[in-house]
Structure 1
Amino acid sequence: MKERATKTRSTWRLAGFLLVLGVALGAHAEPPSSNLPGRKPDTSEPWGAFLGRAAHEAIGRQYRVQHPTHAVFLDTVNLSTIVEEGRLGDPERLSKFARRLRPDITDTRALVLFEIKPDNEDGRKEGRAQAGRYLAALNAAVEPHKQLSGGTGFDGSLFIEFENGGALWQLSWRTPEPGVTLYRWSYRRKQPNASWKERAAQKEEALPREEIEQRGGWVEQALRAAYERGDWPSGFQGQVYLPVDCR
């Protein structure tokens, strides 16, 4: 009896240790987060997700700028709405799950679709798989003469200059295969008395973490202001150079 009680206590101690260890490991497994300037003070969104969202919005807006007469749906619109408002077919043919899917860019005039992902091998694979799923779901619901395919030939870049002569960030994107658009952020160091085009010609570098934490919070708001020709976000003292400025 005494031996059984000893074993029971040992089992509970081991379980407690494993629980604490699991919590500790789980805490370290969380993605890095940051409280960036220009954002809500209580946010803890990982910077990668934050800059990814900014890239998605800018690239989607740029596609619309380049195709002003097309019906272009971005990632806030689901397949059911795309099929109905794009006059592609009957949205009732979509499964209940497929109706809620939201491709990154769908052009119902050109009948093409793009999925936007980070420019790495995992991003490319994920983009290919997602674009394929969206196309399969859409093409099962649209009219035979309105079948969609993966879009091609969509590439570009833009620059964000901080502090009128400070650091220069670049967002660039390419479409290496149908339906998959890959983006990446890069950085040019501060160079006094040099124009932004002179600094853009410098060798690009990966964005340092401290640079992201210092200036990243303005990116999404500054890009939105540039495309909408609105006011710059509070505290932002730079300039945005859209693709039309980079020619």
Structure 2
Amino acid sequence: MKSSGSRTRSTLGLAGFLLVVVAALGARAEPPSSKLPGRKPDSREPWGAFLGNAAHDAIGREYRMQHPFNAVFLDANLSTIVGDGKLGNPKRLSKFVGLLRPDITDTRLLVLFEIKPDDEESRSEGREQVGRYLAALNEAVEADNKLTRGTGFEGTLFLEFENGGVLWKLSWRTPEPGVTLYRWSYRRKQPGASWKERAAQKEEELPREEVEQRGELAEQAVRAAYGGGERPKGFQGQVYLPADCR
């Protein structure tokens, strides 16, 4: 009995040690916490995810603006797209599949886009996601409502801070059907130069401190520019949408 008790204590001790090790490794694997303005202090979302959210919002709104008479669904689930888009019977989708959410679906042109950062891993992921979405949708829609991968969607917008300060650029392209890739970049201050002159400056990676300092303002400014609302408090600059950049 004494030997059995010792083995039990040893087993429990080893299990406890392994749990500690696993927890420690998991903590190291977690993304860095975000302290962006407007976020909850205990948020564990990677700081770069904010730029992704802002890009998705801007790119989706721009597509809708370019196609004002189309039925455009932004981040809607497949059941809603099939039903509200009058494409077929959403009951043909399983409960799980019906919850999948493509980034942009145009049920007039019958095309679909997935928005991803401009790198090879994300591009591959987007390609696979579009394939899954289309396979599911085209099983549920009527024969003459089959969807395909969208093409030819690209654009650029600029955010100018402090009326002559730094310049942010968001650009996107669709290098392969269905996959729209975006990229944020940065131009340093150049006193006395117009935003177009600074747009021609050398493109740099957007510094993390810029995102932390201006992330909330950037997101609010883009929303206001597309929604026609008032510019956010503290934003002393301009938003140049794709129509302004052509």
Q: Normalising by the residue count of structure 1, what TM-score does the alignment of the two structures yield?
A: 0.91
CA distances 1:182-204 after superposition (whole Å, capped 9, x unpaired): 11111111111111111110111
**2:136 aligns to what?**
137
Q: 2: CA distance between counterparts of 1:219 and 1:32? A: 21
CA distances 1:115-158 after superposition (whole Å, capped 9, x unpaired): 11111111111110110111111111111111110000001110
Do the aligned partners of residues 163 and 38 (structure 1) sit closer, same or farther apart at CA in structure 2, a change above 3 Å counting?
Answer: farther
Contact kept in structure 2, 1:155 and 1:173, CA below 8 Å: yes
Count of residue correspondences: 246
1:149 equivalenced with 2:168 (yes/no): no
**1:214 aligns to what?**
213
Contact kept in structure 2, 1:160 and 1:241, CA below 8 Å: yes
Contact kept in structure 1, 2:74 and 2:105, CA below 8 Å: yes
Q: 1: CA distance between counterparts of 2:28 and 2:165? A: 34
Q: 2: CA distance between counterparts of 1:231 and 1:39? A: 21
Unmatched segments (≥5 aa) in structure 2 = none
**1:232 aligns to what?**
231
Matched to 2:21, the amino acid is L
**2:63 aligns to what?**
63
CA distances 1:83-126 after superposition (whole Å, capped 9, x unpaired): 12211111122222221111100001111000111111111111
**2:94 aligns to what?**
95
Shift of 1:17: 3.8
**2:111 aligns to what?**
112
Q: 2: CA distance between counterparts of 1:12 and 1:42? A: 33
Q: Secondary structure of 2:116's partner?
A: strand
Shift of 1:37: 2.6
Matched to 2:242, the amino acid is P
Shift of 1:46: 2.1
**1:23 aligns to what?**
23
**1:37 aligns to what?**
37
Q: 2: CA distance between counterparts of 1:3 and 1:57? A: 64
Q: Secondary structure of 2:65's partner?
A: helix
Contact kept in structure 1, 2:31 and 2:45, CA below 8 Å: no
**2:74 aligns to what?**
74
Q: Normalising by the residue count of structure 2, what TM-score does the alignment of the two structures yield?
A: 0.92
Q: 2: CA distance between counterparts of 1:38 and 1:162? A: 18
Shift of 1:19: 2.9
CA distances 1:39-85 after superposition (whole Å, capped 9, x unpaired): 4555443222211111111000000111111111100x211121122
Shift of 1:172: 0.6
Q: CA RMSD in A?
A: 2.0
